[in-house]
């Protein structure tokens, strides 16, 4: 990465004085403290809302606790313009922060402890009771945590938590192993991140095996044309798929082809791979692996039709809806993968199973819609979600590459 020079900011080094620079640094510090204090104030509001909503819903009759938590998390997520997972995390942080962390909360409120550092402490003590959290909080008070980095705060808090409640700490570690998983997330430029959440000894064993593959190639007489990371990545693909070389994997690809490109093959509009964005086709057609293509025709970024050349997936209509929504949940601010296809107008309300009445949702938002007070409808080509408080959020049915700008809050 190129080093940053003073001329990157469009100024001459002689135009700033020491005094003005000091004032600006002080201003930056002040704003950082204000950000932390505002985050603390928002946390207070989140907790108050959660308690008020729980009380109002409970007063209306018997409420499923899990459904109520989903409803609260979803509304906080929408209000904060974040995913429901992040909304749930903020609700739990607000709850635990006010249930034992007196010293930490005070530092957060005056801006001495950032939102991220505060969240790190709360997460590290989430398995403790309120009394045990209070013990950890008292011990943290003697370490000037406002001067520590995030990693040191994390390690210190976990160490103190293990000291205060060793049995609970051991139980947490055992429970963590049940959460082992593998996931994939799209990245830029036709790439993706494959992640494995494993017990530490298993993760290190896997990494050591991939590192050994680098040493094996290094001692061969053939010239090495790949870097260490490339060799490890290729070895991972080859061993998981059983392919002779990493580039020869078999894959089915959905490509959204603008109808304008069908008319003018040399036009400027690129093709799109739902959930991954624009990728040069030439990069996808290299190698000897079998490629199965499914064309999805679009106009102005909206899927208007398509054809199926493979029987690997059933349900052409479902494939079109998933492609139109970019493989991601249609609710505002949610990037979770589509797990369910939902009727915008319910089937029980005579909603038809057709392209314009379908949308892709993650499991969370498909469940939260069934909670009392949640409604969805369509207006002028948009999906409008109404929460139990009457707040409305709109999501336009546009293409995946326009999604970062599609969500609006309806007053």
- What pLDDT was estimated at residue 324? 82
Instruction: Answer yes or no: pTM beyond 0.95.
Output: no
Compute the distance between CA of residue 72 and CA of residue 76 in angstroms, rounded to an integer: 6
Low pLDDT (below 50) residues in the chain: 1, 261-263, 281-287, 289-293, 304, 306-314, 399-408, 410-411
The pLDDT assigned to 94 comes to 96
Q: What is the pLDDT of residue 276?
A: 55
Every domain of the chain and the residues it spans: 16-177, 182-248, 251-314, 317-410
**Phi, psi (degrees; rounded to nearest 5) at 60:** -85, 0
């Amino acid at each position: 990465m190129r080093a940053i020079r003073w001329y990157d900011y469009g100024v001459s080094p002689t135009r700033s004085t020491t005094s003005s620079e000091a004032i600006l640094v002080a201003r930056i510090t002040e704003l950082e403290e204000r950000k932390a204090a505002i985050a603390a104030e928002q946390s207070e509001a989140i907790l108050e809302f959660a308690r008020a909503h729980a009380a109002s819903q409970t007063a209306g009759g018997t409420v499923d606790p899990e459904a109520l938590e989903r409803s609260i998390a979803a509304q906080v997520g929408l209000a904060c313009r974040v995913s429901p997972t992040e909304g749930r995390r903020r609700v739990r942080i607000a709850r635990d922060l006010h249930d034992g962390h007196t010293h930490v909360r005070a530092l957060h409120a005056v801006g001495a402890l950032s939102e991220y550092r505060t969240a790190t402490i709360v997460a590290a003590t989430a398995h403790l009771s309120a009394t045990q959290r209070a013990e950890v909080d008292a011990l943290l008070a003697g370490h000037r945590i406002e001067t520590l980095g995030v990693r040191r705060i994390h390690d210190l808090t976990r160490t103190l938590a293990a000291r205060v409640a060793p049995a609970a700490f051991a139980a947490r570690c055992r429970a963590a192993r049940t959460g082992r998983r593998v996931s994939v997330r799209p990245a830029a430029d036709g790439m993706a991140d494959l992640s494995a959440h494993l017990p530490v000894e298993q993760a290190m064993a896997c990494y050591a095996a991939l590192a050994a593959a680098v040493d094996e190639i290094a001692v061969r007489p053939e010239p090495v044309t790949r870097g260490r990371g490339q060799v490890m990545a290729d070895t991972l693909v080859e061993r998981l798929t059983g392919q002779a070389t990493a580039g020869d994997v078999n894959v089915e690809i959905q490509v959204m082809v603008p109808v304008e490109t069908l008319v003018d093959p040399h036009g400027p509009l690129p093709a799109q791979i739902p959930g991954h964005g624009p990728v040069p086709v030439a990069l996808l057609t290299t190698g000897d692996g079998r490629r199965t293509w499914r064309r999805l025709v679009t106009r102005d970024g909206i899927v208007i039709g398509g054809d199926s050349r493979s029987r690997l997936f059933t349900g052409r209509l479902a494939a079109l809806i998933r492609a139109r929504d970019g493989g991601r949940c249609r609710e505002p601010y949610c990037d979770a993968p589509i797990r369910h296809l939902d009727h915008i107008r319910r089937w029980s309300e005579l909603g038809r199973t057709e392209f314009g009445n379908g949308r892709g949702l993650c499991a969370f938002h498909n469940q939260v819609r069934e909670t009392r007070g949640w409604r969805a409808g369509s207006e002028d080509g948009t999906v409008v979600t109404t929460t139990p408080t009457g707040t409305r959020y709109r999501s336009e049915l546009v293409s995946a590459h326009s999604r970062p700008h599609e969500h609006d809050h309806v007053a």
